[in-house]
Amino acid sequence: MTGKSHQPSGLALPEFGTPPLIETVIGVQFDPLPNLDIPRIGLLWQRFRERLPAVQNMPPLEPVIERAGVRKVSGWPALRFGGQAPLPRCWFLNLAGNELLQIQQDRFIWNWRKVAENDSYPRYEKCIRQNFIEHLGEFLNFLLQENVGDFRPNQCEIIYVNHIISGPEQGWETHKDAGKVFQCWNSAYVDSTVPEIESIQMAVSHIINSAKNEFLGRLHVTIEPAFRNEDDKPIFVMTLTARGKPLNPDISGVMEMLDIGRKLVVETFTAMTTKGMHEVWEKQHGS
């Protein structure tokens, strides 16, 4: 579903003492760099090895572009150089596994993940944003010093993944209680003539426009029912993805778009969830 054009408000952002957040992803997509091959990625790892000593190889992500008037996310075929298979996406991880850097020929991504019960979200302003800027700067220095190619960003992306857990203390028990969790769901239509709800799934997209009302990208929200592995408790997986073009083709333009996206993610998460859940998550201030 496509919503109206959406811009961040000037109000202070709300904060939650115990948010249901389990993962944040902050990244930039750029024009492919054919010279960013496996040997050079190995050289790049040496710059991050002290903090991120573990390495894993993953399949590459397909490129995506948000386009005005095109409601489905568009992209282009993955590039092949010399008829070879695509190079992997390389993960550089810390020993705890809750911080990782993802590198491929057209992508630079920084992740925080909750992997232990006592892992607490390190906060965007104080940690996530600064880590991304620091590591991206090191990456750009590497491209320049190793003559890999020019950094030409074309999309920025910030993702928040939330696991909203059920239980008496959480204020809801089964997936049919979605109206107790999400303000955007009204179960009042269910009466004696309608079968009982078993599960609920939602997908919403909002247009992100600039202050001049120019198309920048979209904010995508998905809500999916699931069950927690360890105890089979019902949960809702709520994922908010803000994606769009940088305001300028440099780090400052990338960060401006990411800051816009992050603000929209927090505001939309708050707007779509109920006051009852805000109390559970210890909402502290803001709109």
Q: What is the pLDDT of residues 209-219, one digit of tens each?
A: 999 999 999 99
**pLDDT in 10s for each residue of the chain, 287 residues:** 344 444 444 557 999 999 999 999 999 999 999 999 999 999 999 999 999 999 999 999 999 999 998 766 545 444 444 555 678 999 999 999 999 999 999 999 999 999 998 898 899 998 999 999 999 999 999 999 999 999 999 999 999 999 999 999 999 999 999 999 999 888 777 666 778 888 889 999 999 999 999 999 999 999 999 999 999 999 999 999 999 999 999 999 999 999 999 999 999 999 999 999 999 999 987 54
Nearest to 223 by CA among 208, 235, 206: 235
Q: Half-sphere exposure of residue 141, counting CA atoms within 13 Å on the CB side?
A: 9
**Separation between Cα atoms, residue 96 and residue 84, nearest integer Å:** 34
* Phi/psi of residue 134, nearest 5 degrees: -60, -50
The full DSSP string for 28-64 is EEES--TT--HHHHHHHHHHHTTT--EEEEEPPPPP-
Coil, strand or helix: which one is 137?
A: helix
* Cα distances (angstroms) measured from residue 215 to each of 5, 8, 28, 204, 257: 9, 14, 18, 17, 12
**Taking the alpha carbons of 246, 250, 251, 256 in that order, is the dihedral positive or negative?**
negative
Coil, strand or helix: which one is 271?
A: helix
Coil, strand or helix: which one is 142?
A: helix
Q: What angle do CA 219, 68, 242 make, to 5 degrees?
A: 15
